[in-house]
Structure 1
Amino acid sequence: MNARSLSTLALLLASTQTACVSQQKGREDSPSDEPGPPARLWRRSAVERDFERFTREGTALTGDGALVLDASARTDSVPVPTGRNEDGGTRYHEATYRLGSAVSEVQLVPGGFTSVVPSFDAQTPPGTWVKVTLAARIEGAWTKDYELGVWAFDKVPVARHSVDGQGDADGQVYTDTLNLKRRADALRMTVWLFSSQPEATPRVRALTAAVSDKQGVVADASSDRAAWGTVLEVPGHSQMLYPEGGPVWCSPTSTTMLLGYWGRKLGRPELTTTVPSSADRTFDWVYKGTGNWAFNTAYASAIGDGALHGAVLRLDGFAQVERLIAAGIPVSISIAYEEGELTGSPVRSSDGHLIVLKGFTPEGDVVCNDPAFKTDETVSVTYKRDELWRAWQHSRGAAYVLWPSGTAFPAEVIGLLR
């Protein structure tokens, strides 16, 4: 059997088994019979001039409200991880660099929370990078600042990566998610800006935290049916066309589809990209995969000179997705299911998989692009609403959204923490 035949056989075998299994973070805790507080969104952005209230050190605000390094930024030379060598060792950036920080005000969360997924809009010119940390208040005491990702659009001088080994008595970081062991009532986010170049600086436009409870919800919310019969024109891409990594590229493939949609809608051809390019720009050098949720939205909000905003959300049901579809915003959702649980799926089961939700039938079932189908032309599929909702709850409603830069996120979709 020749090499081409072997590659074809490998793809066929992968398509009958599970998609994205080697890069997933594992299923979230399944919802219990007792519902937790609703999922909410904390977001601070340059558009709203929110960074004016942050406590800043070595950072300043641009005229449009974004965070950048300023002349007072201190220098340091403590080596920072830059990625991995081929032998598995860690590479370090050992030259001097400038750094500054901005700390958010304390955000109270009525009803509390036990899980947080941060995301951010940041442009990182060559030689620069950013880091995001989160702390939560539990029974009157603050946890440590957990590191939720080091981000750079490029691979040098510091390659983007999550941070392992942070578990303690309060919580545990799982790649892009902080899960707490007890309920917290407040959160605080810090963003760190770094530059190895004297004139270059990152530019942070927004910080977001999807705040939810590990108990999740017990049923899909009722619908007003406003988006039933609406299907957005999202271009199709199959992850299975790329033997070099495609079977585990569901996340960057879904991100590529969202970018393609906005590229057409906004007349911005620079947003139309390829699946391998998206996979390259979302790869997490510690996680060793492309499924880091925050890195996918950070990448999407950075290309095209920041033409889009991006955020990771937790949503409680399809009624919220319907509001986004009605506003012309497609959504990528994270699902998992066993054999026989998702009628019409291209694989028998999945421990974790990303698809794009682009609309609803007149009866309320869900029209999607599922990148696990074998070709670009065959990714469009309709899933039964109740089956897909159950599959989605394995991630407790995790979703990616993108929307045009300079516009506010639709406030009616999800409870906003202010």
Structure 2
Amino acid sequence: MRPPPAALPRLLLAPLLATGLAASLVTPIGPATAEPAEPAEPAERAQRDPEPRRIAHTQWESGTDFRTGTMAGTLFIKGGLGVVKAPGARRTYAGTAYELGRWTSPWVAPRFGLTELIASWEATTPGDSWIEVEVRGKDATGTLSSYDVLGRWTSGDGFTPRQTVSGQTDDLGAVSVDTWRSTVAAGLTSWQLRVSLMRRPGARAASPTLDAVGAMASRVPDGSVATSEPGVARGIVLDVPRYSQMIHQGHYPQWGNGGEAWCSPTSTSMVLGYYDALPDPTDYSYVPQGHVNPWVDHAARMTHDAAYEGTGNWPFNTAYAAPLAGSAFVTRLRSLREAEQLVKAGIPVIASIAFDRGQLTGAPISASNGHLLVIVGFTEAGDVVVNDPAAASRAGVRRTYDRGQFENVWLPRSGGTVFVITDGAHPLPTPEKYTNW
């Protein structure tokens, strides 16, 4: 299990923040000036929850997108960004020399004082190659922060360890596992990503390929929330396969030991199974015969964060899922009404929750300071139908949770954090209306 940032005492730097949005809904450069449009809620909800949940997601994934940034030793070809034959720059990391190419995004101003940011990416790193994703920001005075590392990513695990770098508390921001948080109470006005692509020296060396990168920036209030009114997905339940994390207890101690530690890779695997996008059996052929759902063991291996020592890293899960399904990113939602929009479009939603004893009736565990599960649908009354991997066996995975209880163990505890994984047959619904996908 992965404690959400808002639930950890060392992270109580309030207020919260998140990133991820279509570029047309943010200001690419310059200071923040205005609020982006947000989906309308009923008037009575606006009165009960006067502070808006501000969320903006920005992503670059095409040649046109990447050309809005700055390339140094990189080239967009065949659908992705790679290192040119002679990039010029080099870097030594952990005693090994690499050729280095970089892409730097334009500045993005989300039009509010962001307090948190979570990046997402899709990349392939053959051989001894890897990528590093960094972020920096500006405050209202124009003060510029240093770059902070959000993740060192490899799609394999034979060479450079996949890891995050918590801390980095030297100026305007600090990192907690996968979340960059402003140390300025008013938040930051703009942010910029930098992606470094490393490969071993030599023109024949395999190059990493960056297919997409983006971030979700947010400023969301804490405290309990009023229950949202049921929306467009009442009575819709998606046929998502049911996997239990608990049946893997004791599997692979080097990747978390299964059981309660594997809610993220188990949830990610359920959604990949729904899209018929699980990895090829040859990829997990090392898993011993008799392990049920061996692709979950493999997902844990491919999402393990060596520094965090767990498999609950949010963007590591979406980076694993993206090339298998088609697209994946981390964002935040404002309420279950937005989750309903996704479910109606045939897209299950992986949500990060945390709860104390008695706060989530019907849960298979009594409490958790960080848990991932899959929202698969809604009852006619608007309650939440989930696949909860914490069940002891597959038979108990499908659960129904009270709508109000669920929103209060999700929105205040993780800021409404979700993984959105899609394939070509299930495009995102009306993205021009939503700033968070």
Alignment of 1:258-277 (within 5 A): 258-263=271-276, 274-277=295-298
Please name the residue that 1:109 is paired with.
110
Please name the residue that 1:162 is paired with.
164
Structure with more strand by fraction: 1
- Larger deviation: 365-374 or 124-133? 124-133
Please name the residue that 2:68 is paired with.
53
- Larger deviation: 394-403 or 195-204? 195-204
The RMSD of aligned alpha carbons is 2.7
Does residue 317 (structure 1) correspond to residue 331 (structure 2)? The answer is no
Does residue 27 (structure 1) correspond to residue 40 (structure 2)? The answer is no
Unpaired runs of 5+ residues, structure 1, are: 1-19, 81-91
Percent of aligned pairs with the same amino acid = 33
2:210 to 204, 207, 213: 204
Give TM-score scaled by structure 1 length.
Answer: 0.84
2:199 to 195, 202, 214: 195
CA-CA distance at 1:413 after TM superposition? 6.4
CA-CA distance at 1:172 after TM superposition? 1.3
1:357 to 375, 385, 390: 375
Alignment of 1:377-392 (within 5 A): 377-392=395-410
Retained in 2: the 8 A contact 1:138–1:185? yes
Retained in 1: the 8 A contact 2:136–2:191? yes
Please name the residue that 1:404 is paired with.
423
Q: Matches of 1:416 and 1:372 in 2, distance apart?
A: 28
Does residue 238 (structure 1) correspond to residue 257 (structure 2)? The answer is no
- Larger deviation: 152-161 or 388-397? 152-161
1:67 to 81, 104, 107: 81
Give TM-score scaled by structure 2 length.
Answer: 0.80
Retained in 1: the 8 A contact 2:230–2:382? no
Structure 1 residue matching 2:213: 3-state secondary structure: strand
Q: Matches of 1:159 and 1:378 in 2, distance apart?
A: 35
Partner deviation per Cα, 1:195-236 (whole Å, 9 max, x = no partner) = 126331111111121111152586357556211100001001
Amino acid at match of 2:314: W
- Runs of 4+ in structure 1 off by over 3 angstroms are 23-26, 28-34, 216-224, 266-273, 405-410
Amino acid at match of 2:268: T
Count of aligned pairs between the two proteins:
378
Q: Matches of 1:407 and 1:44 in 2, distance apart?
A: 19
Amino acid at match of 2:351: I
CA-CA distance at 1:42 after TM superposition? 1.3
Q: Matches of 2:91 and 2:110 in 1, distance apart?
A: 37
CA-CA distance at 1:165 after TM superposition? 3.0
Shift in alpha-carbon separation, 1:162–1:413, aligned structure 2, 3 A: farther
- Larger deviation: 331-340 or 124-133? 124-133
Please name the residue that 1:152 is paired with.
154
Shift in alpha-carbon separation, 1:269–1:111, aligned structure 2, 3 A: same
Please name the residue that 1:282 is paired with.
303
Alignment of 1:74-223 (within 5 A): 74-78=88-92, 80=93, 92=94, 94-139=95-140, 140-182=142-184, 183-196=187-200, 198=202, 199=204, 200-216=206-222, 219=225, 222-223=228-229
Shift in alpha-carbon separation, 1:407–1:388, aligned structure 2, 3 A: closer
Does residue 298 (structure 1) correspond to residue 312 (structure 2)? The answer is no
Retained in 2: the 8 A contact 1:370–1:379? yes
Does residue 248 (structure 1) correspond to residue 266 (structure 2)? The answer is no
